Amino acid sequence: SAERTLSIIKPNAVKKRLIGKIEERLVQAKLDIIAMKMVHLTKEQAEGFYAEHQGKPFFDGLVRFMTSGPVVVQVLTGENAICRYREVMGATDLAKALAGTLRYDFADSITENAVHGSDSPQSAEREIAYFFADDEIFD
Ligand code: CMP
């Protein structure tokens, strides 16, 4: 069924001028953009977004990275959008990402992995509401 998922184009990908290339992959995968904004996250915003990872060894580095420059936050929609976007992204760890995925092509490290996508319907709902009001989403 049609789902929504939250995508973030992370600071390393924005810096390397990869926004257009990433958007092209979304079009190819028939993932439609129904909301988008560019934002430079504050420390508090990044910590809140990644609250489930608080206390993990990579948390401080993750927050430092995610606040190092602007990101592009988007809501994507399509059939099985959550799972399909995760396929388009590839594994979190670029060493495990399949050829042709966004992370295989654009990640710099496991932390600087170019993109984020929601991992379940519950997290998609929370993550979309974290960044977008209902009237900023165009179905
Ligand atoms: P993301 O999908 O945004 O979710 C959590 C992020 O933490 C992940 O992508 C990476 O950017 C970062 N991260 C860094 N190290 C790890 C790790 N060992 N396992 C999972 N995520 C990590």
The pairing of strands 71-79 and 2-9 is: antiparallel
Each residue of 59-111: pLDDT tens digit? Answer: 999 999 999 999 999 999 999 999 999 999 999 999 999 999 999 999 999 99
Instruction: Measure the CA angle with vertex 70, ends 30 and 48; round to 5°.
Output: 90
Percent of the chain with pLDDT over 90: 99
Average pLDDT of the residues in 112-125: 98
How confident is the prediction for the chain on average, in pLDDT? Answer: 98
Q: Whose CA is closest to atom 3 on ligand 1? A: 116
**Which ligand 1 atom sits nearest the alpha carbon of residue 65?**
11
Q: Which ipTM value was assigned to this complex?
A: 0.96
**Residues within 6 Å of ligand 1 by CB:** 53, 58, 62, 92, 110-111, 113, 116
| Residue 19 pLDDT greater than 90, yes or no | yes
Amino acid at 102: L
Residue 138 C-beta-side C-alpha neighbours within 13 Å: 7
